[in-house]
Amino acid sequence: MNRADGRGSRGSDTEIGRVVIVGGGTAGWMAAAAFSRFLNNGRRRITVVESDAIGTVGVGEATIPPILAFNNILDINENEFLRVTRVTFKAGIEFVNWGRVGDRYFHPFGFYGHDLHGIAFHQLWLREAMRAGGPGAGSDIAHYCMSAQAAALRRFARPGPTAKPPLNQLLYAFHFDASLYAQFLRKIAERQGAERREGRIVKVHRDGTSGDVLAVELEGGERVEGDLFIDCSGFRALLIEQELKAGWHDWSHWLPCDAAIAVPTALTGPPDPFTRATAHEAGWQWRIPLQHRMGNGMVFASRFGDEDAARAVLLANLEGEVLAEPRTIRFATGRRKASWSHNVVALGLSAGFVEPLESTSIHLIQNGIQRLLALFPGKPISPLERDEYNRGMGELYDDLRDFVILHYKATQRDDSELWRYVRDMEVPDSLARKMELWRLHGRVFREGHELFGTVSWVAVMLGQNLWPEAYDTIADSLDEAKVAEAMARMREDYRKAAEALPDQEQFLRMAGAWAAEEMAA
Ligand code: FAD
């Protein structure tokens, strides 16, 4: 029997020496890249166990801006990353048909205008719009956002560190090829000393007294022993659930979509610098442009519509030539009651899934990694540090859940069972409170470490026709004519700055980050 322990004298009685990452999807290789960078200083061994025969979920190609911070801590050369993983930029998400069929709005990264005398910009905008006659009157709030303006013109350039306003408000994230991303991170992790074991795990060995995991056993008998196990086994949740039964908070009554059909197509034009999410009768369709193809998929709720119908709607709404067989992926929405149990920390799909509407899963992996590094345990593991991790992760998941539920709840659609169900459903108290605060005076407060801030909530609520009854009267403390003048200047500044940008393909080529030549080779 081969043993993967015993080599080198890593760790000690009080120090975790062997970290075993179970799974080599996006979660596994993100964890391996980060842990080998920060924990592998001669004292710890980082091992990734993955099975080519099982493979990865193979989706997950849109991100949100904090991914830039993850690249930074890994010292990733951004242009190389852009080229190798076929990145296009993402300035936000265009939502089509969500409030009512025919509606269209943009949820941008970044800011709406800027506050005046400490008064929130959206309150000044609401005053102007309400005085002009309410919904649809006055100026478009997207005209006060750098990212939204760039996206509307299909332009993009990365603002450098010395960029001046308003260009420095152009926040962005990436669309990338998920399998190329995992390969890219694998190279980094292996260069930093992480080891890889290929094989299917067939058995888990536990300590009879503590219940901790001691080793995973591969087909053929090889045992990989560890002090800390990172469960990145995807929806299988091999250690955290199959073995440790950490428990599950089920969200399917709030987020009823439970399946997706994914299919790549050829590009029909230059890639857009944004994701599109189009609502259909039984679910919604994603459109994620990459340098070399378009990622598409239909997310649907199987209790409100069958797979054949979902596939037919997806295929009828594609723009380019289909490049591969459509693939169905089943999922459940919810999260583990504890993503850290015993000496196992779940990251990625094994820890939970909010559904892909706001592209939050990769962020949850990143956040889990950074949180674990900040709370990295000794031996024995302190319950306090473990509880702190679980408390923080739980809050993060629940906040994201509320924001995603908002997109469903705030619909006026009446054309199918799915939309009637979500429109009429009870929502979590935390979301009901937020929606009521908005309804009264358009107020939004970012709480604790919430990921999505005021701009996001305002974009979705206004975009889906939830208008407050009144604006905050504090807006009346500023002279209306002067505010109108300042707002006109802001609009002009954003428009001019957006018009001066190149299109993103041009920008990527200039940065040496366009992979077309490699693709043609
Ligand atoms: P997986 O990719 O499933 O990897 C699991 C790994 O565990 C594999 O390597 C597998 O071989 C290994 N494994 C499992 N069992 C065993 C075993 N017995 N022995 C050995 N190895 C084993 N996220 C975003 O941020 N943005 C998006 O746009 C987005 N879109 C999505 C769309 C859909 C339809 C879905 C379902 C998810 C989406 N996600 C998105 C989530 C994203 O795909 C995942 O967060 C990400 O891919 C991480 O997956 P993972 O590594 O946890 O799991």
Q: How far, in Å, from the CA of 232 to the mean position of ligand 1? A: 8
Residue whose CA lies nearest to ligand 1 atom number 4: 25
- Looking at residue 339, its amino acid is S
How far is ligand 1, taken at its centre, from the CA of residue 196, in Å?
Answer: 18
Ligand 1 in reach of 20 Cβ (< 6 A): no
pLDDT, block means (10 residues), the chain with 521 residues: 43 90 98 96 92 94 97 95 97 98 97 96 98 91 98 95 94 96 97 97 98 98 98 98 98 98 97 98 97 97 96 98 98 98 98 97 98 97 98 97 98 98 98 98 90 96 97 98 98 98 94 76 54
What spacing in Å lies between the alpha carbon of 260 and ligand 1's midpoint?
13
Task: Report how far ligand 1's centroid is from the alpha carbon of 324 (Å).
Answer: 19
Half-sphere exposure of 478 (CA within 13 A, CB side): 23
Q: By the 8 A CB rule, do 411 and 99 touch?
A: yes
Q: For atom 12 of ligand 1, which residue has the closest CA?
A: 23
- CB of 232 sitting under 6 A from ligand 1: yes
Cis? peptide before 380, omega within 30° of 0: yes
- What is the model's pLDDT at position 449? 83
Please indicate whether residue 234, judged by its CB atom, sits closer than 6 Å to ligand 1. yes
Is the separation of the CB atoms in 332 and 311 below 8 Å? no
- 203 in ligand 1 pocket by Cβ < 6 Å? no
Residue 238 has phi, psi (to 5 degrees) of: -55, -45
Q: What is the pTM assigned to this prediction? A: 0.96
Does ligand 1 have an atom closer than 6 angstroms to the CB of 327? no
pLDDT of residue 8: 43
**CA 236 to ligand 1 center in whole angstroms:** 10
What is the predicted pLDDT for the residue at 518?
62
Q: Strands 259-265 and 294-300, how do they pair?
A: antiparallel
Amino acid in the structure at residue 398: D
Q: What is the DSSP string of 363-421?
A: HHHHHHHHHHHHT---SSPPHHHHHHHHHHHHHHHHHHHHHHHHHHHS----SSHHHHH
Catalytic residue selected from 90, 337, 409, 482? 90
Does residue 366 have its Cβ closer than 6 Å to ligand 1? no
Is 28's C-beta closer than 6 angstroms to any atom of ligand 1? yes
Residue 355: CB within 6 Å of ligand 1?
A: no
Strand spans (E) along 151-258: 173-175, 195-198, 201-206, 213-218, 223-225, 228-231, 248-250
Closest atom, ligand 1, to C-alpha of 24 = 9
* Short-list 288, 313, 308, 320, CA closest to 298: 313
| Six token digits for residue 434 | 């937020």
- Find the 26 Cα to ligand 1 centroid distance in Å: 6
CA quadruple 234, 239, 243, 247: dihedral positive or negative?
Answer: negative
| Ligand 1, pocket-test mutation among 48, 52, 56, most atoms within 8 A of CB | 56
Which ligand 1 atom is the nearest neighbour of the CA of 52? 11
- Quick check: CB of 25 below 6 Å from ligand 1? yes
User: What are the angstrom distances between the C-alpha of 101 and each of 104, 105, 277, 279, 302?
Assistant: 9, 12, 13, 8, 21
Q: Are 174 and 87 in contact (CB under 8 A)?
A: yes
Cα 340 to ligand 1 centre (Å) = 18
Using alpha carbons, select from 109, 79, 502, 508 the residue that is nearest to residue 292. 508
Cα–Cα distance measured from residue 237 to residue 250, given in angstroms and rounded to the nearest whole number: 15
Answer whether 231's CB lies under 8 Å from 243's CB. no
3-state secondary structure 477-508: HCCHHHHHHHHHHHHHHHHHHHHCCCEHHHHH
What pLDDT, on a 0 to 100 scale, did the predictor assign at position 3?
Answer: 38
Angstrom CA distances, 278 to 306, 317, 407, stand at: 18, 10, 12
Active site residue 90: yes
In whole angstroms, give the CA distance from residue 233 to residue 372.
Answer: 17
What is the full DSSP assignment across 339-350? SEETTEEE-GGG
* DSSP assignment letter at 66: T
